[in-house]
Structures are given as structure tokens and as C-alpha cells.
Amino acid sequence: MTPLVSVAGVSVHRDGRPVLSDVDLTVAAGELLCVVGPNGAGKSTLVGALSGSLPPTTGTVSLAGDDITELSPVDQARRRAVLPQDHVVGGAFTCREVVQMARYPWNRTAHNAEDDNAVAEALARCDVEAFADRPFATLSGGERARVALARVLAQRTPVLVLDEPTAAMDPHFAEAVMAIVTARRDDGCAVVAVVHDLGLAAAYSDTVAVLAGGRVVAVGPPEQTMTAELLGEVYGVPMASGVVAGQRVVVPVRPPRPTN
């Protein structure tokens, strides 16, 4: 079966400097790939390549078997939905109107009949119905992130590309968001999520790609990639990795606190 996302030999240069180098990844339908790595590792550049906003210097990114650079912007938007790091919307749009924007790629198609249902379902899934008619600009950072995720869901694409979907969220909503993401995975979507919280990546991913210095240094299931040795080397701090209450946990090893 052709993977929904295929990254083959992708390198991205900026100002003549390599930011990503020879990246190979595939994501199948019904798979959640979490991308982890330190600041500057190239995670957001990878998101740009997957979204079509940053053409590779070399290599190809394919969506459902087609080179993304050969797809029109509308065709790209019908295959993948992107959640950026920054949730900025110009104008005085309400949250409902922001989510409705996701339906634009389906304008003048048979899918227009799904618009109202798609928006209502996304607002409900992300628990933002209560402030759907409030101006988006008045929300907190965490509330904006949930509305932005609702917009992604309302687009109803087979591929989701999420850049830090749990940023600015407390543990309750971070867990809720990852439950939403895995539900879309279970519905058959291919999901790529950049995640800074190593515990969330370990708990929810099917596959983890570890980036460092613009390269994929490891890719595989979390029990193979989220090891103390590898993550300690990548992040430059000692790490501990183990299973607590049936959940894989990854934490930095801190020096003991002094006692009186």
C-alpha cells in the first residue's frame, strides 16, 4: 500500500546552509508519527516541507503518491491540513468563522454539503463550542490552540501535519488534544506531529522520528527510539526512560536536592 506521506532524500537549505539533510520518512494511513528533537533540529523546517510551503532543495515529499510540488495549492489543501506553531488570524473573526475557513478547499464541490456538520463536529471535539462566537483575538493561548486544531479537523483531510499541537496547554487539555489526534489516527488519517513533551510522544506515538542537527538519527516505535542513551545524547542532558503504571515515561535526570 502506498503511504499517505513519503519523504525521500529531502534536504532543505537556507542561505546556502543545510537545515535538513537526507531525510527519509513514511507515514501510513492509521499511523501517528511524532517528531522530537532539540531546538534547531529542523522540526519546523520538516513541517514546512510536508505542508508544501517550503520546497525541498533536493528530494521529494509525496502526499498519497503524488509529488507535493506538482499539486496545486487547492489540491494540497484537500490532502493535508496543517497546524502551525503560531495561531495568528488577522481581522475580527469569531472562533466559528476561523473554523469555517477550513472548508474553503472544498468550495464548489460535492463536499460543500458537509460544511456545517464538519464545523460543528470539530468545535465539539475540541471543546470550544462555548466560545464559538467570541472573537478569536480575545482568547488565551491555549484556547486559540484548540480552535486552531478544530480548524484542522474541519478540513477533513487524510493527512494531518501538526506543529506542537499541545503548546501552551495544561496537562488536562494536552491529554485531551492527544486523544483527539489519536482518534483521527484511528479513523485512518496519517498524522505527523512535532511534540516537545517527550512523555506525550512516548505515550501516544506509533512511530517516533528523532531529529538532531537536521538529520533523522533514529526512527521506530517509542520503545526503541525513546531510550535514555539516545535522548541523553541528542538533548545534551542525562535522561531516564522507563515504564510507570503501564506508561512509558521519559524525564531528565536532575541532581539531588541538598538536604539540611
Cα distances (Å, whole numbers) of residue 91 to 27, 119, 136: 36, 20, 9
Residue 89: predicted pLDDT: 77
Cα(107)–Cα(221) distance, integer angstroms: 39
pLDDT < 70 positions in the chain? 1, 260
Per-residue pLDDT tens over the stretch 17-31: 899 999 999 999 999
Residue 181: predicted pLDDT: 95
Residue 211: predicted pLDDT: 97
Phi, psi for 216 (deg, rounded to 5): -80, 110
Residue with cell 503524488: 66
Domains along the sequence of the chain with CATH: 5-252 (3.40.50.300)
Residue 180: predicted pLDDT: 95
Angle in degrees, CA 189, 193, 198, rounded to 5: 130
Residue 1: predicted pLDDT: 60
Residue 4: predicted pLDDT: 97
